[in-house]
Structure 1
């Protein structure tokens, strides 16, 4: 029997409406250490987006490396496997890999190719062992695949040379084929990938589209039945995709107010022989509460704020985060002052005040736009609509998404 803990999307170093969340992540990582020990875990799989940005702060990196060192001290036989997500720099994730291997930690940030054009699959296959050092499973650790890593390697009749999804499919297939050759009878295969699967539920506001706005999503059929478990990252909502063996663990903390009501968890998987024996979800305690008030008219919102219950005995770093959404008929210059007055003396932290004004037609003044909530793609769509009087078609959107990904990739190369 081999016990795995699957988690993903830590987003260490996240700036949450201008506020750092190191205290929350420290609490989560301490809980995770205790959980690994209590559940007698043999392996920890972290399926990407370790950091929130490609150039994380020193404090964020310290959280990760302190966790790895402490985990090895407390559980010397624990195997840890990390892959880079689309928020991570693959180069940065792999930079300390030789040192981390001494702590039984395997960090995979990039795929590479052999001289004959085939995938270098061996470096992506990680043995998962029990306390006695016996290999019970192989982890197929596949980091987030950027277009430059998989396009132009088709070699198949009738395929376009830049077919990104076909490239992703081929990488998965080659890695699975190599794993089948490598494993011995009685050893399970566990796939770990940072990707968007068809049919999976996406969070309302906090997830950056990967590469080309949904066109990059892949099929769960890529993971055949002899893969005992598929540990996925990228989507923040915990969910299974089709089968109980194919799962997003979800983010351990809500990364946006839209995720307040999601279950946040890690997944415990027990393998026996070549298959999955059991699976369970372990809820992650929420170190800091999140409150959303509204949307509603100002009088109602102010009444709700004044009625908010709080705990003045909490340390300030544990005060709840608060989002307030107010529906207005016309701009109110002193709105923030009135909201803050209703919160006077309460142990909460107001992070976001959203004003919702009518979207009048004709020559009416347009509603104020919250750029952070919109994101680059929706902002582009609105701008195109305003300029040309019709929404952009799919070809235009695909071009925009590719350009956006080029900018993100250039930023990674600059800071990675």
Structure 2
């Protein structure tokens, strides 16, 4: 049987003042075609469906419209959806009784402090059907879990609570499955060793733990379909996989190979995995590619050629200027250079050049752009200046927890 793994759609995202509705619509149209062409048996969506806990009506309409279209085109398709940290667990789960009639299973919340009774197991352990109607695998649909969701003894860490949760669910699922049926885990969390996009991924700061050990996932899981990190990547010898987001959610992600992942199962074994690269509906560019003096940057902007695109799919452009001070007419000159081009200008960033007296042998730190004046980036710069420091991961986690506390106090 064939499964398709996707995550982190972030419907309703606003990119530097521009909505992504047309881009998400194009992605969904492409995904619908892929589901039909590849004769996919089950679609797994591993969290962060929406960009905000209170998504717009337009974003919700887009998502639920996609579910209806997917089932209309692929009538036997199983769809499993879990909530991510950006989603409202209660809101995303509210229409579950109706969606279940369409073959869509939604798990928004799970209280691991309660016993795993039969009703709860039916919500978390979901049979995935082959084309012949037989059960070929089981999806263990674990949504994003907060510390309050976990059953933990005094002194237990968040990671220990997550590990215990997966262990209990796997043990219960093992009693239901047949030997030739795979157990496929789902989760929305940060696994140690994975690359992070600090510009757009909200830190998961829980009990001082930022990332969790890959060993929390029991060996019985044939494949683990993860969400939260936007860069496609594999861990645990390929058994754990982030498919990544379908669209770049910040300029730091424009070089990612955005994809969905097809998993082919033969009995309880993964036969193959195949990444399907997602066509980028709208170009996202930095022009020039690196900061240049204003006149040189303007020359590149005048030479820039873009194809006509439908409304909402015009290229998103950020202009990078190298200058000590911003000329008062800088925006006007940029607008003049881009006149007549169908683009969406997301902003102009200015980077100060290094002092002329600095030599290659000196250790003068580079001047920071305005976008670099973020707490996480400044803290990382401090760590970079002290390469011999002990336990940088622990310091990152401690700093992130303090920062989260500051945000909550400010709110």
Give the TM-score range, shorter chain. 0.7 to 0.9
CA distance 1:129–1:405, shift in 2 (3 Å): farther
Structure 1 residue 335, shift from structure 2 partner: 1.4
Question: Structure 1's 116 and 269: CA in aligned 2 closer, same or farther, altered over 3 A?
Answer: closer
**2:360 — aligned with what?**
none
| Structure 1 CA distance for aligned equivalents of residues 276 and 408 of structure 2 | 38
Matches within 5 A, 1:99-118: 99-113=98-112, 115=114
Q: 1:381 to 1:292 in 2, by over 3 A?
A: closer
> Could you say which residue in structure 1 is the equivalent of 2:132?
132
Instruction: For residues 51-76 of structure 1, give each alpha carbon's deviation from its aligned partner in whole angstroms, at most 9, with x where no partner exists.
Output: 00100000000000000111111111
Q: Which runs of 5+ in 2 are unaligned?
A: 356-366, 382-394
Contact 1:165 1:216 (8 Å CA) reproduced? no
Out of 239-248 and 67-76, give the one that drifted further.
239-248
Q: Distance in 2 between matches of 1:175 and 1:139?
A: 11
After TM superposition, give the deviation of residue 308 of structure 1 in Å.
Answer: 0.7
Instruction: Output one character per residue of 1:306-364: Cα deviation in whole Å (capped at 9) or x when no partner.
Output: 111112x332322110011212122322211111111111122111211223699xxxx
- Give the paired residue count: 387
What is the match of residue 330 of structure 1?
325
Residue 201 (structure 1) aligned with residue 195 (structure 2) = yes
Q: Distance in 2 between matches of 1:352 and 1:97?
A: 41
CA RMSD of aligned residues (A): 2.9
Measure, in 2, the Cα distance between the counterparts of 1:358 and 1:213. 41
1:143 aligns with 2:129: no
Counterpart CA distance in 2 for 1:328 and 1:403 is 36
Superposition pairs of residues 313-324 of structure 1, within 5 angstroms: 313-324=308-319
Kept after mapping to 1: 8 A contact 2:208/2:398 = no
Distance 1:398 1:254 in 2: 23
What's the counterpart of residue 402 of structure 2?
A: 400
Give the SS at the match of 2:238: strand
| CA 1:145–1:114: 2 relative to 1, 3 Å | closer
Residues 201 and 237 in structure 1, CA contact (< 8 A), matched pair in contact too? yes
The DSSP-based 3-state class of the residue aligned with 1:81 is strand
Instruction: Output the TM-score relative to the length of structure 1.
Output: 0.85
Query: What are the residue-to-residue correspondences of 1:331-410 with 2, within 5 Å?
Result: 331-357=326-352, 370=370, 375=374, 377=376, 397=399, 399-403=401-405
Which segment is superposed worse, 218-227 or 130-139? 218-227
Aligned residue for 1:218?
212
2:12 matched to 1:16?
A: no
Distance 1:117 1:124 in 2: 10
Specify whether residues 73 and 191 from structure 1 end up closer, same or farther in structure 2 by C-alpha distance, changes over 3 A only.
same
Residues 1:172 and 2:166 are matched in the alignment: yes
Give how far 1:402 is off.
4.7
- Displacement, 1:38? 0.3
Question: 1:84·1:144 contact (CA, 8 Å) conserved in 2?
Answer: yes
With normalisation by structure 2, the TM-score equals 0.86
Q: Distance in 1 between matches of 2:216 and 2:343?
A: 46
Q: Cα offset for 1:118?
A: 8.9
CA distance in structure 2 between the partners assigned to 1:164 and 1:86 by the alignment: 15
**Matched residues in 2 for 1:334 and 1:212: separation?**
46
Structure 1 unaligned segments of length 5 or more: list them: 361-366, 383-392, 412-416
Deviation of 1:249 after TM superposition, in Å, equals 0.5
CA spacing shift, 1:259–1:402, aligned 2, 3 Å: closer
* 2:46–2:188 contact (8 Å) kept in structure 1: yes
For 2:266 and 2:111, locate their aligned partners in 1 and report how far apart those are by CA, in whole Å. 32
